[in-house]
A = this chain, B = another copy of it.
Amino acid sequence: MIVTVKQGSNPQQVKRLTDWIKSLGLDVHLSEGEKSTVIGLVGDTSKVDIDLIRSLDIVEAVTRIQEPYKNANRKFHPEDSIVDVSGVKFGGKHFQMIAGPCSVESEKQVIGIAEAVKASGATMLRGGAFKPRTSPYAFQGLGLKGLEILKKAREATGLPIVTELMSERFIDAFAEVDMVQIGARNMQNFDLLKAVGRLGRPVLLKRGLANTIEEWLMSAEYIMSEGNMNVVLCERGIRTFEPYTRNTLDLSAIPILKEKTHLPVIVDPSHASGLSRLVKPMSLASVGAGADGLIIEVHNDPPHALCDGAQSLRPEQFDDVVRAIDVMLPLVNKERG
């Protein structure tokens, strides 16, 4: 960490700052120029509160040299991590398709969709049992009953399941889930992150609505610092001023993450836009950007044919997306499955 001190600062104040830095167990490398004094902090700066230093009256600017994340940092783990979810591998040359309904509604619905998406090439099943809803009056999901239905679909199809955990209260029930999803709204629910870190199941960590890439990696770090290294990141759109799409899918985040971290990264093109007709082009775009997989909403329920055009694809549309991706994967040195 490099601290630039304001011109004309009181030398006593500078000394108080360097003394305080030393009291944190760090060495200080002082370089006094004509126009500015630069303080280099040597040692493990991950505990240093950068915002506190930045807000000091005598400080002009603070520059991090070491990233604040360690376990997630590619510098210390140059090879891609392969995260194994009950046999389904994320990272490296692997490309995985996760598919399933938005909400778990019934055994018949989920198994029907699971069979269809498996036939098209999906290797994991998604489905919401606990649903984060903006309104307390909206349907909040089937909860534990939904989990049971997902497990039955796993039994019926062999597909491992991923579903969202919203509260520490249900953590025990999630020990039987293959992969635990942390939703965007809980990306900085630090107690929940620690809890899934301790649980030890692979985690699908969605990016928060308005979180930077660095904050996202720090949330991965929370999970990993509890000993759970099996984290897959999922880009799902960030909040911007553009109203046509619900969120703006940030695909540049993928090549950046590939530099910064060894963790796999997948994309959720369904939630980002909220428009099913954008799922195919944004899926292909995600492959081009270097993603390790996709998680896509698929429905098959005829009485809800109404929802055609909404966020979810029909099974035949999903199949069409998988076929297009298959043509593209060799170009990015990846293989499906």
> In the complex where A167-B191, A281-B290, A289-B284 touch, is A274 in contact with B54 (Cβ < 8 A)?
yes
A313 interface residue, CB < 8 Å from B? no
Which among B46, B137, B139, B288 is the interface contact of A281 at CB below 8 angstroms? B288
Q: Are B225 and A241 in contact (CB under 8 A)?
A: no
Which among B63, B68, B246, B286 is the interface contact of A51 at CB below 8 angstroms? B246
> In the complex where A212-B243, A331-B328 touch, is A63 in contact with B132 (Cβ < 8 A)?
no
- Bound state CA distance, A42 and B278, in angstroms? 31
Q: Are A55 and B285 in contact (CB under 8 A)?
A: no
Closest residue of chain B to A225 (Cβ to Cβ) is: B136
Partner-binding segment picked from A31-39, A112-120, A148-156: A31-39
Give the A interface residue count (CB, 8 A). Answer: 111
Which among B2, B245, B252 is the interface contact of A273 at CB below 8 angstroms? B252
Which among B36, B135, B191, B274 is the interface contact of A218 at CB below 8 angstroms? B135
A58 interface residue, CB < 8 Å from B? yes
Q: Mark A1-34, 1 if CB is under 8 A from B, else 0.
A: 0101001000000001100100000000101011
Secondary structure call for the A interface: mixed
A315 interface residue, CB < 8 Å from B? no
Q: Mark A134-146, 1 if CB is under 8 A from B, else 0.
A: 1111111000000
Q: Are A31 and B34 in contact (CB under 8 A)?
A: no
A175 interface residue, CB < 8 Å from B? no
Q: How many copies does the complex hold?
A: 4
Q: Are B213 and A35 in contact (CB under 8 A)?
A: no
Q: Which residues of B contact A305 (CB under 8 A)?
A: 16
Q: How far is the CB of A17 from chain B (nearest CB, A)?
A: 6
Give residues of chain A (226-257) contacting chain B, Cβ–Cβ below 8 Å.
238-246, 248-256
Q: Are A47 and B137 in contact (CB under 8 A)?
A: yes
Partner-binding segment picked from A81-89, A93-101, A121-129, A181-189: A181-189
Q: Are A282 and B38 in contact (CB under 8 A)?
A: no
Q: Which 9 A-B pairs have the closest CB atoms?
A: A57-B309, A210-B210, A284-B288, A167-B191, A285-B288, A185-B188, A285-B289, A55-B310, A285-B285
A-B contact pairs, 28 of them (CB 8 A): A2-B36, A2-B38, A31-B31, A31-B40, A35-B66, A36-B40, A51-B246, A55-B275, A60-B65, A134-B188, A134-B215, A135-B218, A166-B189, A167-B192, A185-B189, A185-B190, A186-B189, A189-B189, A209-B210, A210-B241, A212-B242, A238-B240, A239-B241, A241-B241, A248-B252, A255-B277, A281-B288, A281-B290
Residues of A within 8 A of B (CB): 2, 4, 7, 16-17, 20, 29, 31, 33-36, 38, 40, 42, 46-47, 49, 51-52, 54-58, 60-61, 63-66, 68, 132-140, 166-169, 185-186, 188-192, 194, 209-210, 212-215, 218, 221-222, 225, 238-246, 248-256, 259, 272-278, 281-290, 305-311, 324, 327-328, 331-332
